[in-house]
């Protein structure tokens, strides 16, 4: 269409001259500039160019295989589409700046310009409704591999950092108050663990979206003898979608991916927040490398944790995309409605942001260096040994509530004297509870307290070493949440 005027090719068959829409026979005029401004989608759905050509190639193969089109004509279309794929991969073909309404009309126009009238038959037995639903699934499937690689890379960076600091003790915090002694490595791995769940959620979403909408038509299927199972196989899907109305209106797969992205960004934001705290002068646990920090335009001394702050900020945008798509879907009648065009910008930006944020988070982790002494000194205040005193009494038969009270009185006494719990004399302990004995004091040492938590999920050094090895296996593509069907990795045979 021309900007703001009568669409070029209006009143002509689909696939008319340059810039024509895939509709128009029953119209005398075309959309005005106001509708074009909000309705044309090529500026963003041009990103689907390659997968649209791949899906079109699979469709053309099916048209020739079933006799819907003469084999010679289908082969001509296929050759044209394969040439387009080569040009896309070589950077010679792009939809940027083209006058077409959307990526589908761009592909059909370029194909027709290259191979002649046969290109106008590609859309036989297909609608843009089932076409775009297929394209978006294919695009997400391709992007998901990069996201999952980013999750594994970040987990590997955290495991490496944990391995380098295996002997470092620090306080574990609850309510942002010092709680109990912990291995710093255990805390670092606590940020790696959610990444395995993120990977699992993404893998689950990919399994559920492993159905092909092509052949569903606009909503009710098609009268042509299409081979939907064959098209699905060509594109690497497990099966065709089971209901044509649902196939063109379903965006559950996009919601699931956005939900995974939003939660994945929340995990990055929590890691970022810890990095911000650790690198403050108030904590002083860590320092950021120059490559992952910036200065101030007015304060020369500043070393700002910009990557961490940006990760926190970008999380809100991705969460907003999830909410936006849910709101779009909540009141839509079946089947396809133009509202669904709004799914793509949300999905594109969310996955772009998640992928970039994972790379930035991995760089942030690699740029952290910890001050072992500062971490150890933080255990000298806040009475992180108090729980050990309570547990000591419980082992000797004292009810935990009574033991808790006795340990609390010990903290109060130490506060009044301005000392640590290990500085209290054995007589002080016996005055607090008769069951306290001289063998309590060694148990109050932070390293002893850490070593005694020797169980699955505990912070004992041996347990943490095993967890480092497990996260490293995940980072190499093995272990929790790393499964992806060979079908998902194989992609489209039509592109080969």
Q: What is the CATH number of the domain that holds 400?
A: 1.10.40.30
Do 178 and 114 share a structural domain?
no
Asked if the structure places residue 459 within a domain, the reply is no
Upstream peptide bond of 335 is cis (omega within 30 degrees of 0):
yes
- Whole-number percent of the chain with pLDDT over 70: 90
Inside any domain, residue 107: yes
Res. 458 pLDDT band, cuts 50 70 90? very high
187, 323: one domain: yes
**Same domain membership, residue 201 and residue 177:** yes
Let me know whether 357 and 426 are in one domain.
Answer: no
Q: Residue 199 in contact with residue 478, Cβ under 8 Å?
A: no
Which among 103, 124, 145 is the end of a domain? Answer: 124
- Domain contains 76: yes
Confidence (pLDDT) at 40: 76
Q: What is the pTM of this model?
A: 0.89
Q: Give the per-residue pLDDT at 56.
A: 98
Alpha-helix runs per DSSP H in 331-436: 343-366, 372-377, 386-395, 400-417, 426-432
The model's pLDDT over 107-154, given as tens digits with 9 standing for 90+, comes to 999 999 999 999 999 999 999 999 999 999 999 999 999 999 999 999
Residues 61-89 have a mean pLDDT of 98
Tell me the β-bridge partners of 304: 294
Spatial separation of the C-alpha atoms in residues 81 and 63, rounded to whole Å: 14
Q: Residue 216 belongs to what H/E stretch?
A: none
The candidate with the shortest Cα–Cα distance to 230, out of 60, 50, 49, 53, is: 60
Domain holding 369: CATH number? 1.20.200.10
- 279 and 162 within one domain: yes
pLDDT in tens, 411-437: 999 999 999 999 999 999 999 999 999
Give the pairing of strands 239-240 and 211-212: parallel
Dihedral pair phi/psi, residue 337, rounded to 5°: -135, 150
Confidence at residue 21, expressed as pLDDT on a 0 to 100 scale: 62
Q: Which CATH number belongs to the domain containing residue 101 in this structure?
A: 1.10.275.10
Residues in the chain: 496
Question: Which residues partner with 287 through β-bridges?
Answer: 369
pLDDT averaged over the chain?
A: 91
Q: Is residue 23 in a domain?
A: no
| Final residue belonging to a domain, choices 124, 158, 175 | 124
Same structural domain, 150 and 69: no
Contact 15, 112 (CB under 8 A): yes
The pLDDT score that the predictor gives to residue 28 is 67
CA distance 84 to 386: 70
* Burial group, residue 100, by CB count within 10 angstroms (0-12, 13-18, 19+): buried
Task: Give yes or no for residue 446 having a pLDDT over 70.
Answer: yes
What is the per-residue pLDDT for 96?
Answer: 94
206-240 pLDDT, tens digit each: 999 999 999 999 999 999 999 999 999 999 999 99
Degrees, nearest 5: CA angle 356-358-362: 120
**96 and 53 inside one domain:** yes
Q: Are residues 117 and 141 in the same domain?
A: no
Percent of the chain clearing pLDDT 90 (strictly above): 85
Enumerate the active-site residues. Answer: 175, 296
Domain co-membership, 170 together with 249: yes
Which of 104, 124, 144 delimits the end of a domain?
Answer: 124
Residue 74 lies in a domain: yes
Q: What is the pLDDT of residue 26?
A: 66
Kindly state whether residue 69 falls inside one of the protein's structural domains.
yes
pLDDT for 15 beyond 60 = no
Q: Does residue 23 carry a pLDDT above 60? A: no
**Inside any domain, residue 462:** no
Contacts of 320 (CB under 8 A, 6+ apart): none
Cis geometry, peptide bond prior to residue 289 (ω within 30 degrees of 0): no
Task: Average the pLDDT over each of 195-199, 302-306, 362-366 and give the range with the smallest value.
Answer: 302-306
Is residue 418 included in any domain, yes or no? Answer: yes
Please give the pLDDT value at position 146. 96
Residues of the domain holding 56: 33-124
Question: Would you state the pLDDT for residue 484?
Answer: 39
Residue matched to tokens 């092509």: 214
**Which of the 8 DSSP states describes residue 294?**
B
Give me the pLDDT at residue 300, please: 86
pLDDT over 70 (residue 459)? yes
Q: How many structural domains are present in the chain?
A: 3
Q: Provide the pLDDT for residue 481.
A: 44
Q: Same structural domain for residues 119 and 223?
A: no
pLDDT of residue 302: 87
Q: Is the pLDDT reported for residue 461 higher than 80?
A: yes
107 with 215, same domain: the answer is no
- The tens digit of pLDDT for each residue in 350-384 reads 999 999 999 999 999 999 999 999 999 999 999 99
156, 258: one domain = yes
């Amino acid at each position: 269409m021309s900007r703001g005027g009568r669409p070029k090719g209006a009143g002509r068959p689909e696939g008319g001259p340059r810039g024509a829409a895939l509709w128009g026979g029953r119209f005398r005029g075309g959309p005005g500039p106001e509708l074009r401004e909000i309705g044309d989608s090529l500026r963003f759905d041009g990103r689907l160019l390659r997968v649209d050509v791949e899906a079109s190639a699979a469709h053309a193969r099916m048209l020739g295989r079933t006799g819907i089109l003469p084999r010679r004509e289908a082969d001509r279309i296929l050759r044209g589409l394969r040439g387009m794929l080569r040009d896309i991969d070589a950077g010679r073909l792009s939809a940027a700046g083209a006058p077409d309404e959307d990526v589908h009309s761009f592909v059909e126009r370029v194909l027709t310009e290259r191979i002649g009238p046969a290109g106008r038959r590609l859309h036989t037995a297909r609608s843009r409704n089932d076409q775009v639903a297929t394209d978006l699934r294919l695009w997400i499937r391709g992007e998901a591999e990069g996201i999952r690689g980013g999750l594994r890379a970040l987990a590997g960076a955290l495991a490496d950092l944990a391995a380098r600091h295996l002997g470092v003790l620090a306080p574990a915090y609850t309510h942002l108050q010092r709680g109990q002694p912990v291995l710093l490595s255990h805390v670092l791995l606590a940020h790696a663990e959610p990444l395995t769940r993120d990977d699992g959620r993404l893998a689950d979403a990919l399994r559920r979206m492993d159905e092909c909408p092509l052949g569903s038509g606009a909503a009710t299927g098609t009268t042509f003898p299409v081979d939907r199972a064959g098209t699905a196989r060509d594109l690497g899907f497990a099966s065709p979608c089971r209901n044509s109305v649902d196939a063109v209106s379903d965006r559950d797969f996009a919601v699931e991916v956005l939900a995974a992205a939003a939660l994945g960004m929340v995990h990055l934001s929590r890691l970022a927040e810890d990095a911000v705290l650790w690198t403050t002068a108030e904590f002083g646990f860590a320092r950021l490398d120059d490559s992952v920090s910036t200065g101030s335009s007015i304060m020369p001394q500043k070393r700002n944790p910009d990557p961490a702050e940006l990760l926190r900020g970008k999380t809100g945008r991705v969460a907003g995309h999830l909410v936006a798509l849910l709101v779009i879907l909540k009141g839509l009648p079946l089947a396809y409605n133009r509202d669904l065009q709004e799914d793509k910008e949300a999905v594109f930006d969310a996955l772009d942001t998640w992928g970039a944020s994972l790379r930035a988070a991995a760089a942030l982790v690699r740029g952290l260096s910890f001050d072992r002494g500062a971490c150890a000194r933080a255990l000298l205040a806040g009475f992180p040994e108090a729980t050990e005193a309570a547990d000591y009494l419980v082992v000797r038969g004292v009810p935990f509530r009574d033991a808790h009270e006795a340990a609390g009185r010990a903290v109060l006494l130490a506060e009044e004297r301005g000392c640590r719990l290990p500085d209290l004399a054995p007589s002080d302990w016996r005055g607090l509870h008769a069951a306290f004995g001289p063998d309590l004091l060694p148990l109050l040492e932070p390293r002893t307290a850490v070593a005694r938590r020797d169980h699955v999920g505990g912070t004992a050094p041996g347990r943490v070493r095993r967890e480092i090895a497990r996260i490293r296996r995940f980072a190499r593509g093995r272990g929790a949440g790393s499964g992806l069907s060979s079908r998902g990795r194989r992609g489209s045979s039509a592109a080969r």
